[in-house]
Structure 1
Amino acid sequence: MFMMPTIDMVATGKNIERLRKAAGLSVRDLQDVFGFATPQAIYKWQRGTAMPTIDNLVVLAALLQVKIDDILVVDAAIQVQISA
């Protein structure tokens, strides 16, 4: 058995919302920075129903002045059988 780390999307979403608020940024601010026509992607990130792409994570980390590791919540409790 191998312990496969996974991203806890709901906890990561809550983290994104908490960090955004702590940085004094609104959803609209993020929408403008990312050039999104609507704020739906950001709301999906915050609900944990979608994840930012890698390049968006890099920009988000810079905006929030944190490391990507500070945004993502990783759960290492998933065991997987690896077949050879």
Structure 2
Amino acid sequence: MIVFPTIDLAATGKNIIKLREESGLSVRDLQNIFGFATPQAIYKWQHGTALPTIDNLIVLSAVFKVSMEEIIIVQTKISA
């Protein structure tokens, strides 16, 4: 048996929402911090349809004052 870690996109998205709200930030605030023209990328992160890039994770970890490991939700899958 081999255990493979995988990123749970939906749980990570919910976690980003939780961390954003705990930080007192709106989606618009994050959009301004990142300098995005639209908030679409942030909504995709929150809905679990996309993950932030590594450089964006670094910024999120600084903004939320947590480690990148505290943003990403990892689950393990067992394969035969």
Q: Which position in structure 1 is the counterpart of 2:24? A: 24
4+ residue stretches of structure 1 with deviation over 4 A? none
Greater C-alpha Rg: 1
For residues 2-50 of structure 1, give each alpha carbon's deviation from its aligned partner in whole angstroms, at most 9, with x where no partner exists.
1110000000000000000000011001001111110000000000000
1:45-84 residue pairs with structure 2 within 5 A? 45-76=45-76, 78-80=77-79
Q: In 2, Cα distance between the equivalents of 1:62 and 1:36? A: 17
Structure 1, unaligned runs of 5 or more: none
For residues 26-82 of structure 1, give each alpha carbon's deviation from its aligned partner in whole angstroms, at most 9, with x where no partner exists.
100100111111000000000000000001000000000111111110001x1346x
Q: In 2, Cα distance between the equivalents of 1:8 and 1:24? A: 24
Q: Which position in structure 2 is the counterpart of 1:42? A: 42
**Number of aligned pairs?**
80
TM-score normalised to structure 1 length: 0.91
Which residue type is aligned with residue 36 of structure 1? F
Question: Identity of counterpart residues, as a percentage?
Answer: 61
Q: In 1, Cα distance between the equivalents of 2:33 and 2:23? A: 14
Cα RMSD of the aligned pairs, angstroms, is 0.9
